[in-house]
Amino acid sequence: NAGVTQTPKFRVLKTGQSMTLLCAQDMNHEYMYWYRQDPGMGLRLIHYSVGEGTTAKGEVPDGYNVSRLKKQNFLLGLESAAPSQTSVYFCASSQLPSAPTGTDTQYFGPGTRLTVL
């Protein structure tokens, strides 16, 4: 199993350009997440999905869009990149909450380092 993979690993954009980050998981997980990580800020949730065809906003959704057309893939789009979106982006996935705990582990991909000039 590859687990959670992310494409690309690195990218440099100019202000105003657009791009899509791809996250794929082969663990048949229902839930998928996109986070951004900035120095000293920890991980902040951008958007998440609780199943194929569903998406929801997280803590910092502005400037991003997402789609979950297939269960195994979760796409993060930047329509018009800004320097404030320079960050490391992590994708994660998890199973349905399992009894008796009602929660489950999130598994993270290796990250995409994005620089917007």
Partner 1 sequence: QQPVQSPQAVILREGEDAVINCSSSKALYSVHWYRQKHGEAPVFLMILLKGGEQKGHEKISASFNEKKQQSSLYLTASQLSYSGTYFCGTEKLVGARQLTFGSGTQLTVLP
Choice between 14 and 62, CB closer to partner 1? 62
Q: Return the residue of 22, 58, 60, 71 that touches partner 1, per CB under 8 A.
A: 58
Q: Return the residue of 7, 16, 20, 41 that touches partner 1, per CB under 8 A.
A: 41
How many residues contact partner 1, by CB under 8 A? 26
The closest of 46, 38, 116 to 80, measured between CA atoms, is: 116
In whole angstroms, the minimum distance from the beta carbon of 62 to partner 1 comes to 17
User: What is the distance between the alpha carbons of residues 3 and 28, in angstroms, rounded to a whole number?
Assistant: 10
Yes or no: say if 116 and 82 are a contact pair by the CB < 8 Å rule: yes
Instruction: Give me the 59-98 binding string for partner 1, x by CB under 8 A, dash otherwise.
Output: x------------------------------x---x--x-
DSSP string, 42-82: EEEEEEEESSTT--EE-SS-TT-EEE-SSTTEEEEEESS--
Q: Return the residue of 13, 29, 31, 114 that touches partner 1, per CB under 8 A.
A: 31
H-run or E-run covering 103: none
The closest of 19, 75, 69, 73 to 46, measured between CA atoms, is: 75
Q: Which residues bind partner 1 (CB under 8 A)?
A: 4, 31, 35, 40-45, 48, 50, 58-59, 90, 94, 97, 101-103, 105-111
